[in-house]
Chains A and B, each alone.
Chain A
Amino acid sequence: MTSALGISAFYHDSAAALVDDGTIVAAAQEERFSRRRHDPAFPALAAAYCLTEAGTKLDDLDHVAYYEDPRRKFHRVLWTQIGTAPRGYRTFRRVLPEWLAWKRRAAETVADRLRALDLGAVPPVVCYQHHESHAASAFLPSPYESAAVLCVDGVGEWATTSLWHGREDRVEPLAELRFPHSLGLLYSAFTYFCGFKVDSGEYKLMGLAPYGTPRYASLIRERLVDVKPDGSFRLDTRYFAFLLGRVMTGRAFEELFDGPRREPEAPLTEREFDLAASVQLVTEEIMLRLARTARERTGESRLCLAGGVALNCVANGRIVEEGVFDEVWVQPAAGDAGGALGAALLAAPAAAGRTHPARGRDAMRGARLGPAFDDDAIQRYLDDHDLPHTRLAPEELSRKVAAELAEGRVVGWFQDRMEFGPRALGCRSILGDPRDPAMQSVMNQKIKFRESFRPFAPIVLAEDAEEYFRLGQPSPYMLLVARLTEAQRRTAPGEQDARGLDRLRATRSTIPAVTHVDHSARVQTVDRADHPVLHRLLADFKALTGCPVLVNTSFNVRGEPIVATPEDAYRCFMRTRIDSLALGGFLLHKADQPEWTESGDWREEIPLD
């Protein structure tokens, strides 16, 4: 039996994960503890949490597993310098000193940082390749005995897209595409050009796409990316600037797409809608071709996905909709955080092999792999701060919250262990009534303080999902987008003539708050066995309203990491217009709370995402 602590760090969204004999004991992103969104620092707090959760010290572990190979990555950095000389001096000056000083020895840095935690002697650090970690995180915890595995992201060492065959307890490499030819970087270039932040604004671009028409798609195919019938592709790097500096696009890109990039926070125009629609369409086309190749090369009927591009749930939904595979499973922490988990799973496989597929289940525990707070701990917090609350039995709490939601109140829902990965899946969530046409703008502007165009996602009782969504398979991690069924759609007067953001105002279904302008929704199906507490709440809401769906958005405000502790949750509750807060077995109402005061404007302290 072996155990390992997986670490991903020093680029984006650092994380730690602890695996013991193939079982995932704990996993969490550093940002939740440090309160710095997508924190790239060494995940000291997340690592300490994982060890505490497992009741173990570093001495007891067999390995520390690092999610990429720093030396191989350094190799890529050097070749990029050689490949771009004499035009890349600015990048050279910026990156070479840090690579020489410590980045090429990141594994040793990890050992040093762990030693500084004073939690026992550090076991040997083993490095896996970036895409190997992604592939392991996609296949090993999946519910399949065997599957095709596709990893698509920005870049790790060299690989940007990789194809694997998952069998029994291993992933075997088949083929890859290499830097600078990257679907993740193509999508990020458009994210940047449309005025959003790279590595976090990609979601916004995806949300924007249904407002536009893909009039630039043929230009993208002709000039930016050459895609072969088997899904392999190359970018024409003359149009991009990421090889030479900090920015993604330059003058050539501007000349192609009608002028300079949109400045961050500037008004959105028809061009950005259409650029978003165009790059989204091309991304979906490439993903479909890659998926078909994965099926042909492996002969498998099931697909596992990971890598940042696997968070593009619209593209994932297309793979399901087109029936390329019988079933698709996406690692909920598909981005770099999930690399920590993949590396730990590779370093500490189960001695008896993978047994969960025989039970028809995945090994992710509903992604509930982070810290939990029992009612005693929450009671202490409430008493220490003298916060008015009511303690309720679980059934009573569920009925009461369902009744408040049915009355149009917005509820902060803090239960169970924190989710691993970028999505709140009903443990650190803000919930609302999806039937209310005003709910989307209320939640966007008064609770999340974010852009009005951004859609919200529904959670639905698994047994009722097909009545509402054309999904065809479970979606427990909110990583598939599906169309609403005809029965739930409504035609709003004047909808055909509306353009751009005006389309937001139309009521186009029985659940308008979670229906995007193209009648799509990013669905999370809630199964009674997997998620009993959330299932009960949905069932209670259905009993009151006949509707088995709720709005579910992450428990945070724009630019802030999702809340981790009762204290974080209470702070977010008081800063926003959330009406009620269910903290474990306790219910708090806004009207009963003491006045909330803070020095200065807290919103200025949170950087825009």
Chain B
Amino acid sequence: MPTLRRAAAGLLLPVLYALVVVPAGLVTRLLRDPLRRRPDRAASSYWISTGQGSGDRHR
């Protein structure tokens, strides 16, 4: 059974990655980089407010 599951995962994972993750990644990054990977030299601060009322505590 574990062998069967491993084999299924081995087939399923590349399919899932190619058909779901890659397109989702490409489309998302057209709109916004979810990881904000580049520094923004023009910004004055990178702090994200988490205080009460900021509404951004849970991403």
User: Measuring CB to CB, which residues of chain A are less than 8 angstroms from any residue of chain B?
Assistant: 72, 75, 79-86, 89, 92-93, 96-97, 158, 162-163, 172-181, 225-226, 228, 230, 232-238, 243, 293
User: Are B51 and A93 neighbours in the complex by a CB distance under 8 Å?
Assistant: no
A residues less than 8 Å from B35 (CB atoms): 79-80, 83-84, 179-180, 237, 243
User: Measuring CB to CB, which residues of chain B are less than 8 angstroms from any residue of chain A?
Assistant: 9, 13-14, 16-17, 21-22, 24-26, 28-29, 33-41, 43-52, 57-59
Given A85-B24, A85-B25, A86-B22, A173:B37 Cβ within 8 A? no
Determine how close the nearest CB of chain A comes to the CB of B29; give it in whole angstroms. Answer: 7
B residues less than 8 Å from A89 (CB atoms): 14, 17
A residues less than 8 Å from B47 (CB atoms): 163, 175-177, 230, 232, 293
A residues less than 8 Å from B50 (CB atoms): 162, 173-176
A residues less than 8 Å from B14 (CB atoms): 89, 93
Report the bound CA distance from A180 to B47 in whole Å.
Answer: 14
Main secondary structure of the interface of B (DSSP, over half): loop
User: Are B45 and A228 neighbours in the complex by a CB distance under 8 Å?
Assistant: yes
Determine how close the nearest CB of chain B comes to the CB of A83; give it in whole angstroms. Answer: 4
User: Are A173 and B57 neighbours in the complex by a CB distance under 8 Å?
Assistant: yes
User: Are A85 and B46 neighbours in the complex by a CB distance under 8 Å?
Assistant: no
A residues less than 8 Å from B28 (CB atoms): 82-83
Determine how close the nearest CB of chain A comes to the CB of B58; give it in whole angstroms. Answer: 7
A residues less than 8 Å from B39 (CB atoms): 225-226, 234-236
- Beyond the given pairs A82-B21, A82-B25, A174-B50, 15 more chain A to chain B contacts, judged by CB atoms under 8 angstroms and listed by A's residue number, are A72-B59, A82-B34, A83-B25, A83-B29, A84-B25, A85-B24, A89-B14, A93-B14, A172-B51, A174-B51, A178-B48, A228-B44, A234-B36, A234-B46, A237-B38
Task: Name the 3 nearest CB pairs between A and B, nearest first.
Answer: A85-B25, A226-B39, A232-B46
Among A97, A174, A181, A232, which residue has its beta carbon within 8 angstroms of that of B45?
A: A232
A residues less than 8 Å from B44 (CB atoms): 228
Which of A72, A180, A234, A293 neighbours the largest number of chain B CB atoms within 10 Å of its CB? A234
Report the bound CA distance from A243 to B34 in whole Å.
Answer: 13
B residues less than 8 Å from A163 (CB atoms): 47
Determine how close the nearest CB of chain B comes to the CB of A18; give it in whole angstroms. Answer: 28
Q: What are 5 A-B pairs at a CB distance below 8 A?
A: A85-B21, A162-B50, A181-B46, A234-B40, A238-B37
User: Are B25 and A81 neighbours in the complex by a CB distance under 8 Å?
Assistant: yes
Among B13, B29, B38, B49, which residue has its beta carbon within 8 angstroms of that of A93?
A: B13
Determine how close the nearest CB of chain B comes to the CB of A43; give it in whole angstroms. Answer: 27
B residues less than 8 Å from A97 (CB atoms): 9, 13
Among B38, B46, B58, which residue has its beta carbon within 8 angstroms of that of A177?
A: B46
Given A83-B29, A180-B35, A175:B59 Cβ within 8 A? no
Report the bound CA distance from A174 to B51 in whole Å.
Answer: 4
Among B17, B34, B49, B58, which residue has its beta carbon within 8 angstroms of that of A83?
A: B34
